[in-house]
A and B are shown apart, each in its own frame.
Chain A
Amino acid sequence: MQVTPYDPSIGSLNNFRTQGRAAITPLHEAVPGRLRIKVWGLFRSESRKTELEGVLQNLDWVYSARANVLTGNILIQFDSQVAVAQLVAEIERLARHGNSRPASGIKARSVAARRPQSRRQLRPPAETTSAAAQPQAAWHALSREAAVQSLDSSADGLRESIARERLARYGRNRLSAAKSRSDLTLFLQQFLSPPVAMLGISAAVSLLTGGLLDAAAILGVVGINAIIGFVTEREAEKTINALGQTAPIKTRVMRDGRVTDIPLEEIVVGDVLVLTPGCHVAADARLLSSSRLTADESALTGESLPASKRADFVGTAETPLADRKNMVYKDTIVTGGNGLAMVVSTGRFTEIGAIQSLVGEVKTPVTPLQRQLNGMGLQLALISAGLCVGIFGIGVLRGQGWLQMLSSSISLAVAAVPEGLPAVATTTLALGIREMQRQHVLIRQLSAVEGLGSIQVICLDKTGTLTMNQMKVVTLRTHLHELTIEDGRFRAGQEIIDPSTASDVLRLLEIISLCSEAKLSGEPGRHQIAGSPTESALIEIALAAGLDINDLRHDRPLVKTVHRAENRPYMITAHQNGDRLLLAAKGSPADVLKMCRWQQVNGEREELDDAKRAAILDYNDELARNALRVLGVAYGHADEAKATVPNDLVWLGLVGMEDVMRPGMAELMSQFHQAGVETVMITGDQSATAYSVAKRLGLSNHKPLEIIDSASLDKLDPQLLQSIAKNTSVFARVSPAHKLKIVQALQGSGYVVAMTGDGINDGPALKAADVGVAMGDQGTDVARSAADVVLEDDNLHTMITAVAQGRTIYGNIRKSLRFLLSSNLSEIEVMVIGTAWGMGEVLNPMQLLWINLLTDIFPALALALEPPERDVLEQQPRDPERPIIDRKDFVRLFRESLALTGGAMGVFAYSLRRYGLGPKAGTNAFMALTIGQLLHAVVCRSEQTTVFNSERPGNPYLNKAIAGSLTVQMLAAFVPQLRQILRLAPINAADALAIAVGAIGPMVVNEKLKERQHRGE
């Protein structure tokens, strides 16, 4: 038997044993003889499925076993006499050891499991492109050389010509464009709703009763409804389908032995990918070389911990996906290390492509709001259907013709159901997304729009979000000199000095130039520095002092580097200096000082005693207290590079740096506070620094400033963290990996949490947050792909606009809803009252449909386009638990509908008295109700301000919608043909006055009531 150096099965089994995770989790066992169990390792593993099903079905007490690779669950029906425990034990055994090989796909439970799985798979499904089948092999089981050979490529990459040829043969590297619903389907679907079906029945009834014209009119209504629905929905769908497509468009490969950036879609089999931290893997690829490479494969495996990768691993054909250490997969992300990998498959031939075709069509995700609206729509439809049946019954009992009653109650049902409801929500969301894009806020998840409006806490990463993430050296302190640096000039007190005259300072600058990984390129005077912000700042200051760094580095070539690491807060480099080594050290002052025995004083070295050490540390504290990042610098000599920590270095001094704060942050914080959003800063700084920054920003909003200082939040009991995190404004000394804990703790205390981030480590926290916000420009691919919202201009100020927008969108949906519900209710009320009192049919079916057409569509859509209210950023965030229309709202809109009904019925009663039963009374009531409803749209513009309030911003769309609708209504009253269809009687001046009173009266009443209620609150 061939023994491979890294047997995955052994490795993961050991893993399993030491970590002792449960291999299975029973999910549902309420029904005797039926059990649903989650089996780790089953997820996306067809072989596990076959194996588990096979073994279980062979047991004589199991009737059936069905495993699902998409959910990772198995459903078992078994003899209910058998104890569940026995079955569980059996499956546990299988899951651990399997029949043929140990369970190697056992996974840690995803820490970011808060989100439904479907949200990860926003990408549209694969469309079948005509492409030749790509070479297939168990690439992970091949050696590097064999793989390269069979891909007919080389470690230097493909030649351009071959790459072009392959691109033509195998097709582009994409999971194909969105195949959204075709226009025809979308249009046809407009007719497949219950209201339209009822209209069809109504048309049939009209035909039966000889009303050919009626039937035609009804069909016209259906057509118009469908066209409008189709147009708005298509636009909305376009916008929503474009969400989430912010994957990078270029990727780095080797071609012809050169590293170049090429469009992602042009990657072909045999290309060599250059993998660096934070980069998106463009296609499935076999590693050629790797150094401490790790990848986040959660998109593929659901495993949230990064998987470690190594080129020298060789698996077997059975090695499961998660254990193929020598492979990287499309749409996963490199979280650390680097490497080269040769592409083995692209596009839909990749693992992720296969999964997408497995899952089938990816539906546009439904947000909680849409779900709520759909539920409400159904409820309303049922209620109004009930009412219509009631009206039919009463009418028939009252002696009306049943056919006529049937037709009018169906029409009422159609008119009363706010069928535009889900469309209004989708359209509003889509329009909001577009509006935000205009303001450089990219929405990646539809639900984020709602989330933005309900944010209660925003966690801000200090570095990169509040600050520019650009360090600047502001002070240097050696034993003799205390220099401040401004605009590249060195000052001692007020005096500008030349640093090259101070030998200790010069030495210090030399050491920080040597002990650095920052690369320097370009001509003197126009240098370009590539490196971490800290090292770049150090190099910059050395250049400012006139040091020739290239020369220096050339003279003292680097021999060895000891990197900063956990538990080693410093970096040491060894350089050849004649036949000895020069050691250069920089890092945490306390730790660097511990390695020192001497200090440099004017070129001489002087032994350090306790007092001198204390003085240095006091200096350090002083700088740190002023919110500076402080590094200690030391040097020494050695005969050879040893592994031991040196203890006889010479202390040179301290360098104080600061991260430049973005402008206007304090004002922004107070804007957030005014909007009821609490601000939390997360920083790796020590408490004193964090305090001074928080104070400057006014983070605590005039409340006591609470700071949690902990380097090991993971060791804290989550419940405890939850309770202390509640009023905290600052988390200090936090490592990025612990951000997730903070988000979870805040969510645990019931907050809706937004989180900003841009680093590789921020992924899980961004995913877990209700609204994950990534910086567009500086952020890494990981952060961007995990975020719900991307601020394209890296400007946090945009966030407050996004919050305002989110709130406005939600508010506008509420406004439309309120309008739709109250106006439709009034129609029902008019009909119920008329029929119950034996006043006959107040409105005929045609009139009802007319109202439906005129008021339900354009005014409701226009309300969805309301501009933000003035005080939108002074209101408290909405309670996420509160339904979009709660009992209080319902009482209010019922009251409003009664006012509308009152107006119409008043006119009806007046006309009855004057003209007796006949078309005259119905006409007047119809006119009053329609105009009253149109004016009611104005009432629905705000929950606080009224039409009497002249300062509120106008809504031109609504003005146009109302003006247009009123014109059409006038046409109905005066154009004979329309009048005939609607069976309207002519209107005289006295009627017009009555109609005006009946239409305007309800608006005045409703606005006055709103004013009074608002004042009362």
Chain B
Amino acid sequence: MKKRFFFASESFTEGHPDRLCDTISDALVDEYLKQDPYARIITECAISKGVVFVAARFASNATVDIPDIARSVITGVGYREDDFNAADCTVVTSLITMPSEQRNSTDESELADEDIEAMTARNQITLFGFACTQTPELMPLPITLADRLAKELSAARRNGQMPYLSPDCTTQIGVEFDQGRPVRIDNITVIAGLQGPRAVDAMQIRKDLEQRVLISMFAEDSVKPNKRTEIFVNPRGVFPKSGPASHSGMTGRKTASETYGGFARHSGSALSGKDPSRIDRVGAYAARYAAKNVVAAGLAEECEVQLSYALGHAQPVSIQVQTFGTGRVSEDDIQERLKEHFDFRLGAIIRDFQLRHLPTRYKHGFYRQLAAHGHMGRSIIDLPWEKTDKVALLR
């Protein structure tokens, strides 16, 4: 194991165009599933200047006013009307109706085992799930901190502590590791988009950041910024505009920050904009679920679960476990235990996580919360794949 190294992960606030696109895509998934839990829906979104482009393929009984959903997401993000106005923007939709037999007809929870077995993967993909002991939620520390900082910035904007911030900010946190453990915050970078009538100087932002955000954010952490921690605010100068007015966005371009911040492998496939019957989305959740339970059960300090799905197979064709030398039991052993206690078939994942019905359970939707607040680790809602309910079985 490397003795000493640095690792930095970045994250984005909810108004970042890429993240906005992810959120719109997932808000559509929510709306379709709310009206029709068995809907097939794949959406992709792109934003540039005043134009929002949404491509959707679906087989569903639902009728969704796509521009309306897109506008409501944009409105919720909180751009000032001069910068990006939901009512004024043009929404271009490209719609493809899939044949109705593509729509699921029965609920997975009512399916017999043969039927689950018959639900084979429609995509071929290798997926990774990861967990480690760096944080209480068993996530890598850099992405956890970057995400948390992004959330704090949004909160500071909304509650008036930093009212000049725009919804489009980027954060990056570099952490120094020693013997695989995070020991120090090396640097904190914020690219703060600004909006509002008055210009704010960088010193003011920096002061507000340190005093109003960072202090409270790290209050309960053991690893905190210290004097040697470098803090950068808009190191390359302030952009004259922020958000879609200055840079464009697209669904699925922030796959690293929505998984493990690059600390562990990820499939590269986008998670947002796909209904639960897409294994490349839900398989990633299942893999995380397995890895987290392995670490929570104390079988290893770091664990990566790899699942490979092939067309025509319900079960993953390969389940691999790596513990990077932190395992208490052998990797082969863990692998066997996973095979025994986890059902990685597509139908089983949908059934066990109740993925079709979650959007109706949350007032503000389920999938769009993932896109806006993170798919892994701690979110503002309880994610079924973050439960550690298989710990006892794995031990």
**Using a CB–CB distance below 8 Å, which chain A residues touch chain B?**
621, 624-626, 686-688, 691-692, 695, 704-713, 715-717, 720-721, 724, 727-728, 732-733
Contacts and interface: CB of A to CB of B under 8 A. Distances in A.
A741 to B, nearest CB: 11
Given A695-B97, A704-B95, A710-B91, 8 more contacts: A686-B68, A691-B63, A704-B94, A705-B94, A707-B95, A708-B91, A715-B88, A724-B51
B51 A716 contact: yes
Nearest to A700: B95
B91 A711 contact: no
Contacts of B63: 625-626, 688, 691-692
Tier of interface size on chain B: 20 to 34
28 contacts: A625-B63, A625-B65, A626-B63, A686-B65, A687-B65, A687-B66, A687-B68, A687-B91, A688-B64, A692-B63, A704-B55, A705-B94, A705-B95, A706-B94, A707-B66, A707-B91, A707-B93, A709-B67, A709-B91, A710-B90, A712-B87, A712-B88, A713-B90, A716-B51, A720-B51, A724-B90, A732-B67, A733-B67
B69 to A, nearest CB: 10
B49 to A, nearest CB: 7
Chain A CB within 10 Å, residue with most, of B53, B64, B89, B95: B95
Contact of B90 (A686, A706, A716, A727): A716
B87 A711 contact: yes
Contacts of B96: 704-705
Contact of A715 (B50, B55, B93): B50
Interface string B234-271: 00000000000000000000000000000000000000
A720 B93 CA distance: 15
Interface string B63-95: 111111000000000000000000111111111
B281 to A, nearest CB: 22
A724 B92 contact: yes
Contact of A720 (B49, B66, B97): B49
B95 A711 contact: no
Given A625-B63, A688-B63, A708 B92 contact: yes
Given A688-B63, A688-B65, A709 B51 contact: no
Contacts of A721: 90
A621 B72 CA distance: 14
A915 to B, nearest CB: 76
Given A624-B65, A724-B51, A710 B95 contact: no
Contacts of A720: 49, 51
A625 B96 CA distance: 18
B27 to A, nearest CB: 15
A591 to B, nearest CB: 13
Interface string B44-61: 000001110101000000
A687 B93 contact: yes
A279 to B, nearest CB: 34
A709 B50 contact: no
Nearest to A708: B92
Contacts of B49: 717, 720
Interface of A is mostly: mixed
B95 A706 contact: yes
Contacts of B90: 708-710, 712-713, 716, 721, 724
B92 A688 contact: no
Chain A CB within 10 Å, residue with most, of B65, B87, B88, B97: B65
Q: Which 4 A-B pairs have the closest CB atoms?
A: A710-B90, A709-B67, A688-B65, A625-B63
Contacts of A706: 92-95
Nearest to A727: B94
B92 A728 contact: yes
Contacts of A728: 92
Contacts of A688: 63-66, 68
Nearest to A715: B88
Contacts of B66: 687-688, 707, 709
B50 A716 contact: yes
Nearest to A733: B67
A621 B68 CA distance: 11
Contacts of B65: 621, 624-625, 686-688
Contacts of A727: 94
Nearest to B66: A687
Chain A CB within 10 Å, residue with most, of B55, B64, B94: B94
Interface string B21-64: 00000000000000000000000000001110101000000011
Chain A CB within 10 Å, residue with most, of B49, B68, B90: B90
Nearest to A626: B63
Contacts of A713: 90
A711 B89 CA distance: 8
Nearest to B62: A625
B195 to A, nearest CB: 19
A686 B71 CA distance: 12
B14 to A, nearest CB: 23
Given A625-B65, A688-B65, A710 B94 contact: no
B50 to A, nearest CB: 6
A709 B50 CA distance: 12
B363 to A, nearest CB: 9
A869 to B, nearest CB: 35
Nearest to B64: A688
Interface string B95-130: 111000000000000000000000000000000000
A716 B53 CA distance: 14
A797 B261 CA distance: 60
Contacts of B68: 686-688
Chain B CB within 10 Å, residue with most, of A624, A626, A712: A712
Contacts of B67: 686-687, 707, 709, 732-733
B64 A707 contact: no
A724 B51 CA distance: 9
A686 B67 CA distance: 9
A723 to B, nearest CB: 10
Interface string B171-189: 0000000000000000000
B276 to A, nearest CB: 23
Contacts of B89: 710
Nearest to A625: B63
A728 B94 CA distance: 8
B84 to A, nearest CB: 12
A716 B52 CA distance: 12
Contacts of A715: 50, 88
Contacts of A733: 67
Contacts of A716: 50-51, 90
Chain B CB within 10 Å, residue with most, of A695, A707, A724, A727: A707
Nearest to B52: A709
Contacts of B94: 704-707, 727
A962 to B, nearest CB: 54
A164 B67 CA distance: 61
Contacts of B53: 724
Nearest to B63: A625
A687 B70 CA distance: 12
A728 B88 CA distance: 19
Contacts of B55: 704
Contact of B92 (A692, A707, A712): A707
Contacts of A711: 87-88
Interface string B200-231: 00000000000000000000000000000000
Nearest to A721: B90
A181 B16 CA distance: 70
A355 to B, nearest CB: 41
A721 B63 CA distance: 26
Nearest to B48: A720
Nearest to A621: B65
Interface string B316-329: 00000000000000
Nearest to A692: B63
A706 B90 CA distance: 13
A475 to B, nearest CB: 16
A728 B89 CA distance: 17
Contacts of A704: 55, 94-96
